[in-house]
Structure 1
Amino acid sequence: MSKSLLAWYDKSAREMPWRVGPAERRQGVQPDPYRIWLSEVMLQQTTVAAVKSYFIAFTSRWPKVTDLAEALDADVMSAWAGLGYYARARNLLKCARVIASEHDGVFPQTYEALIKLPGIGPYTASAISAIAFDAQSTVVDGNVERVVSRLYDIHTPLPASKPEITAKAEDLTPPQRPGDYAQAIMDLGATICTPRNPVCGLCPWRAQCAGWAAGTHTELPKKTPKTPKPTRLGYAYVVRREDGAILLETRPDKGLLGGMLGWPCSDWNDAPEPAPPVTADWTEIGEEARHTFTHFHLRLKVLCATVDQNTTPETGNFVGKHQFMPKSLPTVMRKVWDLAKPTQG
């Protein structure tokens, strides 16, 4: 089965800026562990389409892991803005600095060593060891879960079926070309064995697929119903000084949007108390800024004010109007700005 999948991959592999394709591999080109690691961290809970431009920007600005290790935290967080799940960016810097200081800027090659690094869990350690170093590691992401569930007609809902899926995926992983195989099975899930309308007629594994034979493949994988997300409320304050400077604050390192620039806000909960950063005549924008995080929905009331040159805020610092870059804000904070900017001139 691995031979048929690899033969399909040799003809159908997706082109990605971090990937060394099968033709290049045959010519002896080796993957760069830094680029594999960076792409895998970026791809966690994010799509390939969303990641490509960020990956190109990061590797252009910081082409080596030692370059990233020397970067300013604020620069990296700003470059990450909009990609979401900001703890990944903080761990990215921690990991780069550990590799630079404790491993002489060289990525360790084994799963056991990789998983000890900040921000690298079982999936990422397996992916790096397989793709970058051609180790026989079993890589299981959402695409692989779907392919294996259908291939073996597994009806136990996720996440309870994860151990069985992982065991089956391990049995499938070959000792020859395991890095290409890991990418091949993920490509199969992304392009052929898709969540809806799988293209079974083009699948190299159709003849072996128990789900296809049983006619149940489109129902799989089954998933345990998710608990509805709660909604939290809050206030966001957009303050402009008379000279055009904008009041921003750096959020605490721990917690949501840790280390990111944003507007001064109240707590986010069921019944938030107003927490204006300055005394001012506030104007409430009629529309709320709405955003969904992993575990809850957020609705922010947006309040705006203009203050004089002598105002000292209780939190945050004023940023000159020419230094203020909305694109450096995380998505929810950009949504606040999109509502507030018509009042800011």
Structure 2
Amino acid sequence: MNEELEKRIKKVIAKKFGEDLVGWFEQEMRELPWRESRDPYRVWVSEIMLQQTRVDTVIPYYNRFMEQFPSVEALAYAPEEDVLKVWEGLGYYSRARNLQSAVREVHESYQGIVPDNLKEISSLKGVGPYTAGAILSIAYGKPEPAVDGNVMRVMSRILSIDDDIAKPASRKKFEAAVRAIIYEENPSYFNQALMELGAIVCTPTSPSCFLCPVQSHCTAFAEGTQHELPVKSKKKAAKTVELLTVIAENNKGKVLISRRPEQGLLANMWEFPSFERTPGLNAGQQMTDYLQSDHEVEAILTEEKWMTQDHIFTHLVWKMQVGRLNVTNEPVLTEQMKWVDQAEIEKVAMPVSHRKIANAWKESTEKGTEK
């Protein structure tokens, strides 16, 4: 930490930044379901869900999750498929799997009590510095920094830090800065207030500086540089992959779905058979060949481009062309495949893109039945 930054930190401490921030939070904090209790398990679940996801999106998922898995023990013993089903649509499914794995360790190694020290809690799967700091400060009142994107944005402006927040090395500087100014009388509210300020006042492109409760502490506002901070380098463009996706329906009105591998993107979730398209070749022929060669399913194409569906990940874009086929044989399926009807497909955990296809299939089938 350089000398100039140390001076700014001493200045905001002397001007009682923490008191002003916490005082504002006590008056203006939003009513959110995870704030109703300081139970470390509930804090933990909420913080994992809130990673890279908006608060409004998380609220119904959090409520459903806590209704089904209200305790460490309940989540530890739950089948993974049930956990993924409740998580369906929230994205970043590795978060759910890591959370359950870590909760099982808490149940088995810590008598179901979430650790209250940095060393032990940081050893749990999926618990990085931010999550550890959030649980320790919010649930246990420990003066640990919890630095996420919102906090880095706020602190970059308050202390005029121009390090690139997209670089992992920068986080250490921000953590040190927060640790230096954390309000030790109430670290729970201090960390939550920093996050809240970044979410609703000190926003990325149009900060509401004249509504800011700590405007008098802000170096960037005093210097007129609030719109230039934080410094953040651009991400690489997402890779686009063209996929062919198959609705293969048998004579009983059931469709074929397959489970994704145990490791990697969307691990263990169910989907319609899907594969990367070979450019220049007929799409319908590729679909029938794929079913035959990979799954020993013989089928007749009925509609080569029944619908299209795009899905955007942080690093990847799926452009999906969906075809419909009628299966003409009775193949022997592996454990990773099964036939499902309209009711059964509702019970399996599917990625958002495939759930949209499933809903469209159900709707078209129901209309066909009405005719």
TM-score between both structures, scaled by the size of structure 2? 0.84
SS at match of 1:128: helix
8 Å Cα contact 2:21/2:214 also seen in 1: yes
CA distance in structure 2 between the aligned counterparts of 1:333 and 1:235, rounded to whole angstroms: 12
What displacement does 1:248 show? 1.3
Residue by residue over 1:145-171, the C-alpha shift from the partner in whole angstroms, topping out at 9 and shown as x without a partner, is 110011122233222443332222221
**2:344 aligns to what SS in structure 1?**
coil
Corresponding residue number in structure 1 for 2:104:
97
Specify the SS of the correspondent of 2:242.
Answer: strand
Q: Note if 1:65 corresponds to 2:72.
A: yes
> 1:299 maps to which residue?
319
Deviation at 1:313, TM superposition (A): 4.8
- Mapping of 1:76-91 within 5 angstroms? 76-91=83-98
Q: Structure 1 residue 218: deviation in Å?
A: 1.8
Q: 1:3 aligns with which of 15, 19, 44?
A: 19
Q: Which residue of 1 aligns with 2:130?
A: 123
Larger deviation, residues 260-269 vs 93-102:
260-269
Deviation at 1:37, TM superposition (A): 0.5
**Aligned equivalents of 1:208, 1:327: Cα separation in 2:** 51
Please tell me the residue identity of whatever aligns with 2:237: P
Distance in 2 between residues matched to 1:165 and 1:32, nearest whole Å: 27
Q: Give the number of the structure whose residues are more often helix, by fraction.
A: 2
Q: Distance in 2 between matches of 1:269 and 1:194?
A: 43
Matches within 5 A, 1:1-345: 1-20=17-36, 31-160=38-167, 161-267=170-276, 275-276=290-291, 277=295, 278-282=297-301, 283-285=303-305, 287-307=307-327, 310-313=330-333, 316-325=337-346, 328-338=349-359, 340-341=361-362, 344=365, 345=368
Q: Is the 8 A contact 1:127 1:139 kept in 2?
A: yes
- The 3-state SS of whatever aligns with 1:66 is helix
C-alpha contact (below 8 Å) 2:242/2:318 kept by paired residues: yes
The more displaced of 237-246 and 171-180 is 237-246
Compared CA separation, residues 6 and 141, structure 1 to 2 (3 A) = same
Query: How many pairs were matched up?
Result: 336
Q: SS state of the match for residue 48, structure 2?
A: helix
Question: Contact conserved, 1:13 with 1:187, CA < 8 A, in 2?
Answer: yes
Distance 1:150 1:165, change over 3 A: same
Provide closer, same or farther for how the CA distance between residues 243 and 19 of structure 1 changes in structure 2, counting only shifts above 3 A: same
Asked if structure 2 preserves the Cα contact closer than 8 Å seen for 1:239 and 1:246, the reply is yes
**Is 2:299–2:329's contact at 8 Å kept on the other side of the alignment?**
no
**Residue type of the partner of 2:244?**
Y
Paired residue secondary structure (2:202): coil
Once superposed, what is the RMSD of the aligned Cα atoms?
A: 2.2
Give the drift of 1:252.
1.1
* Whole-angstrom distance in 1 between the partners of 2:353 and 2:41: 30
CA contact 2:245–2:322 (8 Å) conserved in 1: yes
Name the CA distance, whole Å, in 1 between partners of 2:263 and 2:59: 27
1:100 and 1:168 map into 2 onto residues whose CA distance is: 34
- Given that residues 142 and 187 in structure 2 are in contact (C-alpha distance below 8 angstroms), is that contact kept between their aligned partners in structure 1? yes
1:200 to partner: Cα distance = 1.4
User: How far, CA to CA, are the matches of 1:311 and 1:108 in structure 2?
Assistant: 50
State whether residues 327 and 334 of structure 1, in contact with CA within 8 Å, keep that contact through their aligned partners in structure 2: no
Distance 1:65 1:115 in 2: 17
User: Larger deviation: 279-288 or 115-124?
Assistant: 279-288
What is the TM-score when the length of structure 1 is the normalising length? 0.90
User: 1: CA distance between counterparts of 2:43 and 2:216?
Assistant: 32
Tell me by how many angstroms 1:232 deviates: 1.2
How has the CA–CA distance of structure 1 residues 77 and 269 changed in structure 2, closer, same or farther, with 3 Å as cutoff?
farther
Aligned-partner SS, 2:82? helix
Letter aligned with residue 56 of structure 2? A
Relative to 1, partners in 2 of residues 1:342 and 1:18: Cα closer, same or farther, differing over 3 Å? closer
Following TM superposition, by how much is the alpha carbon of 1:241 offset from its aligned partner in structure 2, in angstroms? Answer: 2.0
| Alpha-carbon offset, residue 176 of structure 1 | 1.1
Q: What amino acid maps onto 1:33 in structure 2?
A: P
Q: Displacement, 1:14?
A: 1.3
Aligned to 2:9: none
Query: For structure 1, which segment, 294-303 or 160-169, has the greater mean C-alpha deviation from structure 2 after superposition?
Result: 160-169
How many angstroms does 1:322 deviate by? Answer: 2.3
Segments of structure 1 that go 5 or more residues without pairing to the other structure are 21-29
CA contact (8 A) 2:345 2:358 kept: no
Using the TM superposition, give the Cα deviation of residue 294 of structure 1 relative to its aligned residue in structure 2, in angstroms.
Answer: 1.9
Identity between Structure 1 and Structure 2 (%) = 35
